[in-house]
Amino acid sequence: MGGYKFTRVDRSCTKGSRLDRFLIADSTWNHLGPMTAVALGRTISDHHPILLRRFTADYGPIPFKIYHSWFQGEGFDNVVSEFWSNGYYRRSSSSLINFKNKLQGLKGAIKVWVNARRSRIERRPLRGGIEDDQYNKICDIVKQVTIVQSDDSWRWCCDTMDSFSVNGVRKHLDCLSLPSHYLATRWNKIVPRKVNIHVWRLIKDRLPTRFNLWFRGIDNVSLICPMCSNGLESIYHTMCECIIAVKVWKSVAKWLDLNLPFQLPPIEFLDFVNSQGNLHKAKDVLFTIIYTAWWELWRFRNESIFRLGKKRDVRMVDSIIHFLYIWYQNRYKKASMRWDDWFKNPLLFI
Distances (CA, A) of 306 to 84, 227, 292, 302, 311: 87, 12, 21, 6, 11
- Residue 66: the pLDDT is 78
**Contacts with 84 (C-beta within 8 Å, 6 or more apart), sequence order:** 102, 106
**Contacts with 300 (C-beta within 8 Å, 6 or more apart), sequence order:** 227, 244, 311, 313, 316
- Residue 160: the pLDDT is 66
- Residue 20: the pLDDT is 47
Q: What is the pLDDT of residues 22-33, one digit of tens each?
A: 566 666 666 666
Q: What is the pLDDT of residues 283-309, one digit of tens each?
A: 888 899 999 999 999 999 998 888 766
Contact call for residues 87 and 105 (beta carbons, < 8 A): yes
Q: What is the mean pLDDT of residues 328-341?
A: 84
Q: What is the value of pTM for the model shown? A: 0.52
Contact call for residues 230 and 245 (beta carbons, < 8 A): no
Residue ranges of domains in the chain:
2-54, 193-349
Q: What is the mean pLDDT of residues 186-198?
A: 89
CA–CA dist 108, 85 (Å, integer): 15
Q: What is the pLDDT of residues 211-233, one digit of tens each?
A: 999 888 888 888 999 888 888 99
Contact call for residues 177 and 189 (beta carbons, < 8 A): no
Which helix (H) or strand (E) segment is 251 a member of? helix 243-256
CA–CA dist 253, 294 (Å, integer): 14
- Tell me the pairing of strands 8-9 and 50-54: unpaired
The DSSP code for 332 is -
CA–CA dist 317, 79 (Å, integer): 93
Rg, C-alpha atoms of the chain: 44
